[in-house]
A and B are shown apart, each in its own frame.
Chain A
Amino acid sequence: MAELFTSTIWPVTVLVLRILLVVVPLLLAVAYLTYAERKIIAAMQLRQGPMVVGPYGLLQPLADGLKLFVKETVIPTGANKVVFLLAPMITFILALIGWAVIPFGEGLVLADINVGVLYLFAVSSLGVYGIIMAGWASNSRYAFLGALRSSAQMVSYEIAIGLIIISVLISAGSLNLSAIVRAQEVHGWYVFWHFPMFMLFLVAILAETNRHPFDLPEDEASLVTGYNVEYSSMTFALFFLGEYANMILMSAITSVLFLGGWLPPLDIWPLTAIPGPLWLILKICLVLFVFIWARATLPRYRYDQLMRLGWKVLLPLSLAWLVLTAGVVVAFPIPRP
């Protein structure tokens, strides 16, 4: 019994606690990201935003959550029940499992696997399933049109994201996310070396998470709200949480690949005193602000413009940069950590 405890029960308990240590703050962050979004957009439009529930409206996310929780789950007639209920769960779970490989500090990572970048790429390429299954199972034309748009959009922008990531990979010489951050300690942040790719990556993750100005899958003016139009109550809440958790995940990937992960900007005293995870969180918040800023500023793209941007601008540029990076890495011996 004691042997079973030390060999199985105790490690599993520790693992579950570590996962909860990531997931619970993440869900809180998702709740307050919706609050931050409303407040920031309100400030940009000279409004006050939520002010009623709690001081400065701080309890608004909890009230919204409670409202969604107590509503009735409506399953439309003719919907494919199993797939209909599976779709929001898939979206939500995929938004959570990506966090397994994000390094929060030196050694502070749930799974320090050698193919971390590929794992994240795989998880983000699966995100399309939740949406396309929801659109198909709803038995509704609006939802189906939204799902079709979304799958074409996400598949197109994934290619650009993949090529941009490869440029970073061959600079760092590893697929391990912790190793990529350590390489930036030696080389300097990749946002300086790969600045054009950093900008393209920001555009591509907006499209990949279906956010403004590329939110055509839920274009409320032409598709009501697209793929999630038939969803209510908790099933809708799961889509909503999944979308925002995905935004935070994509911001974390950007921070790790380009902004030096847990590293302070300069290796001098007052900056090094701040712990690494806090730096990562600050960088994530910075990228999230760009997400919200874009939503408040830019009008929605037309569908053909969206496809043109993905295939004729992002793809050739990132491919050319990849060849350039590979040439530089071969021509000049760069230090490896």
Chain B
Amino acid sequence: MTAELFVWWMLALVAIASAVMVIAAKNPVHSVLFLILCFFNAAGMFVLIGAEFLAMILVVVYVGAVAVLFLFVVMMLDINFVRLREGFLNYLPVGALVGIVLLAELVLVGTSWALREPSPVLATVEGLDNTRALGSFLYTEHFVVFQIAGLILLVAIIGAIALTLRQRVAVKRQDIARQVHRRPAETVTLVRVETGKGV
């Protein structure tokens, strides 16, 4: 057994164990931390099969951004752990059914896996590192799909802003341009106060 294969199996085992712990951990914050560990092992496996670009993107996007927001939300929630465990057995049959269906699908996909003929674009970039290969593939052959995905994301961003934006009237905001353009003559008046009297 080569060292690489050994490392691969270690990563795979830790990934599965931490995935199990995501649903088994009592504390939801621990669940999110196990999820992050699982992402890391997946990234390690990507590196071992030579997909270093995907590995880094997985860490940057999922671990560095998405999971941070997960963690953020879960930490802010006030969760009653005891009530969370109640009714575990009631939901077990439904949960088990969903799990079995998913497992069956995975097995079906895994056993009938057939690779498509490599695209002609990929054939021309043989020998390039996978960042360049992925780039030339996405920006030429799948250019339209890529643009549509970008547009969907843009709509999602605008939607999120439109849903959460509230215009409040009674809030004092800092207006930097106005502050900079203020002149002493407009804002400060010198008042000579006579002795023995107020302003």
Residues of A within 8 A of B (CB): 8, 80, 83, 113-115, 118-119, 121-122, 125-126, 128-129, 132-133, 136, 144, 148, 151, 155, 158, 175, 304-305, 308
Closest-CB distance, A129 to chain B (whole angstroms): 7
Instruction: Say yes or no: is B174 at the interface (Cβ < 8 Å to chain A).
Output: yes
Q: Tell me whether A118 and B60 are in contact (CB under 8 A).
A: yes
Given contacts A122-B64, A132-B68, A132-B71, contact A115 B29 (CB under 8 A): no
Residues of A within 8 A of B56 (CB): 115, 118-119, 121-122
Cβ–Cβ < 8 Å partners of B57 in chain A: 118
Contact count A vs B, C-beta below 8 Å: 59
Is A115 a contact of B64 with CB atoms below 8 Å?
no
Q: In the docked arrangement, what's the CA distance between A175 and B135, Å?
A: 13
Neighbouring A residues of B144 by C-beta, 8 Å: none
A118 to B58, CA, bound (A): 11
- The chain A residue sitting closest to B128, CB to CB, is A114
Q: Binary interface profile of B, 66-90, with partner A (CB < 8 Å = 1, else 0)?
A: 0010011001000000000000000
Complex contact A151–B36 (CB within 8 A): no
Q: How many residues of B contact A (CB 8 A)?
A: 23
Question: B14 at the A/B interface (Cβ < 8 Å)?
Answer: no
Given contacts A119-B56, A125-B65, A305-B174, contact A114 B36 (CB under 8 A): no
Within 49-66 of B, Cβ neighbours of A (below 8 Å) are at: 52-53, 56-57, 59-60, 63-65
Instruction: Give the docked Cα–Cα distance between A175 and B53 (Å).
Output: 10
Known: A83-B33, A128-B68. A114 touches B59 (CB 8 A): no
In the complex, A285 Cα to B161 Cα: how many Å? 42
Q: In whole angstroms, how far apart are the Cα atoms of A268 and B59 in the complex? A: 42
Additional A-B contacts beyond A132-B68, A151-B72 (9; CB < 8 A): A114-B129, A114-B131, A115-B131, A118-B53, A119-B56, A125-B59, A126-B63, A136-B75, A144-B75
- Residues 20-34 (chain B) with a chain A CB within 8 angstroms: 27, 29-30, 33
Q: Looking across the interface, which residue of chain B has its beta carbon closest to that of A86?
A: B33
B153 CB, nearest partner CB in chain A, Å: 14
> Which residues from B are CB-within-8-Å of A126?
59, 63-64
Q: Which residues of B contact A144 (CB under 8 A)?
A: 75
- How close is A111's CB to chain B, nearest CB, in angstroms? 11
List A contacts of B174 (CB < 8 A). 304-305, 308
B60 neighbours in A (Cβ, 8 Å): 118, 121-122, 125
The proximity string for B residues 148-169 relative to A, scoring 1 for CB distances below 8 Å and 0 otherwise, is 0000000000000000000000
Cα(A148)–Cα(B3), bound, Å: 41
B52 touches A115 (CB 8 A): yes
12 sampled A-B residue pairs with Cβ under 8 A: A83-B30, A115-B56, A118-B53, A118-B60, A122-B64, A125-B60, A125-B63, A125-B65, A132-B68, A132-B71, A158-B64, A158-B65
